[in-house]
Amino acid sequence: MEAGTALQLAVFTAGSPEMIGICHFNNIVRGVFLACHLGYAIAGKHEGKGYMLEAVQAGIAHMFAQAGLHRVMANHVPGNTRSARLLQKLGFEREGYARAYLKINGQWQDHILNALINPEG
């Protein structure tokens, strides 16, 4: 984060000290690319309540307006329908399919590649 290549955000509900999730922007690249990758996670008991949508929307707004990025990329495994729906609600567009993209729990996993372009340029 000190190098400016990542931003980690904690997610809380109003009035509670319990952190319920994270939203992180990493691999931030400046210059002609002006892009980053988005990741997020929320505690199971808080899934489906709209908290992640609200948190990621705020984070993206910051990355576009304050950080001046042009593109945010977010990828998910094909079976993760919650992530697919969240990204769709946020306006992300599917850009591709990457075979054996990330090694998760010792297994190479395919991923669907998505991106959101800053509407302001």
pTM: 0.93
> What is the three-class DSSP state of 68?
coil
> Does residue 72 contact residue 38 with C-beta atoms inside 8 Å?
yes
Tokens representing residue 97 in the block: 């399919």
pLDDT in tens, the chain (121 residues): 788 889 999 999 999 999 999 999 999 999 999 999 999 999 999 999 999 999 999 999 999 999 999 999 999 999 999 999 999 999 999 999 999 999 999 999 999 999 999 998 7
Nearest in space to 37 (alpha carbons), one of 74, 81, 85, 9: 74
Find the angle CA(114)-CA(115)-CA(119) to the nearest 5 degrees: 150
> What is the three-class DSSP state of 76?
strand
CATH number for the domain whose boundaries are 6-117? 3.40.630.30
